[in-house]
Amino acid sequence: MTNITLILGDITDQTVDAVVNAANSSLLGGGGVDGAIHRRGGSDILDECRALRASHYGGGLPAGQAVATTAGRLPARWVIHTVGPVFSANEDRSATLASCYRESLRVADELGVRTVAFPAVSTGVYRWPLTDAARIALDAVRAADTSVTEARFVLFDQPAYDAFETALRGD
Ligand code: AR6
């Protein structure tokens, strides 16, 4: 069973087997978590992302999917890049958001890793409301059939931490 843990912090500080990146379809970097991971992890990550674009993902990585690269100089072995959906008030994209977590864990299992740090995918630039995103994230990880032993949610500020803590307690 996966142990779900929550911490307030920066995902680039996490010593885990794999950190999940809230990327965009281009895989070529951006702001938020993505910017922080590429800045601190260094150019080896971008080199592998470019190679992915030149091979399997010529059209980019679709939302809801996940793919791994090296973590470069981060204190992790792998980065698992996933692309969250942009929040929409008139279209329910929650299945795509849940898929980000499920597919990231599937890639983690393929890599044979045990500890994975997740950000709150889609809750920044992609504007997903925190309370709803926390529920979707936790439900998806709880439901996953995975050999990952720790899924660590790394929340960047107190409102995000509080939303996840409330959702984890189930109230
Ligand atoms: N560690 C942990 N969480 C963080 C960090 C960090 N270092 N930095 C920000 N957060 P976002 P998205 C939180 O915008 O909404 C990028 O430009 C942040 O407060 O990183 O999925 C990509 O290239 C928020 O709660 O990801 C895409 O274009 C959460 O991480 C787009 O943003 C996610 O915010 C993806 O948007």
Mutate to test the pocket of ligand 1, among 11, 19, 33 (most ligand atoms within 8 A of CB): 33
Number of domains in the chain: 1
117 lines ligand 1 (CB under 6 A): no
Active-site annotation holds for 13:
no
58 CB-near residues (< 8 Å, 6+ apart): none
Residue 170 pLDDT grade (very low, low, confident, very high; cuts 50, 70, 90): confident
Contact between 80 and 18 (Cβ < 8 Å): yes
pLDDT value for 171: 63
Q: Ligand 1 centre from 153 Cα, in Å?
A: 13
In ligand 1, which atom is closest to the CA atom of 11? 1
Instruction: Look up the pTM and report it.
Output: 0.98
Contact between 69 and 108 (Cβ < 8 Å): no
What CATH code is carried by the domain that includes residue 133?
A: 3.40.220.10
pLDDT value for 1: 80
24 lines ligand 1 (CB under 6 A): yes
Segments forming the whole domain that contains residue 125: 3-169
Chain segment 6-57, per-residue pLDDT in tens: 999 999 999 999 999 999 999 999 999 999 999 999 999 999 999 999 999 9
Q: What is the 3-state secondary structure (H, E, C) of the chain?
A: CCEEEEEECCHHHCCEEEEEEEECCCCCCCCHHHHHHHHHHCHHHHHHHHHHHHCCCCCCCCCCCEEEEECCCCCEEEEEEEECCCCCCCCCCHHHHHHHHHHHHHHHHHHCCCEEEECCCCCCCCCCCHHHHHHHHHHHHHHCCCCCCEEEEEECCHHHHHHHHHHHHCC
pLDDT value for 20: 99
119 lines ligand 1 (CB under 6 A): yes
Chain segment 118-154, per-residue pLDDT in tens: 999 999 999 999 999 999 999 999 999 999 999 999 9
Active-site option among 17, 34, 47, 157: 34
Q: Ligand 1 centre from 114 Cα, in Å?
A: 23
* CA-atom Rg of the chain in angstroms: 15
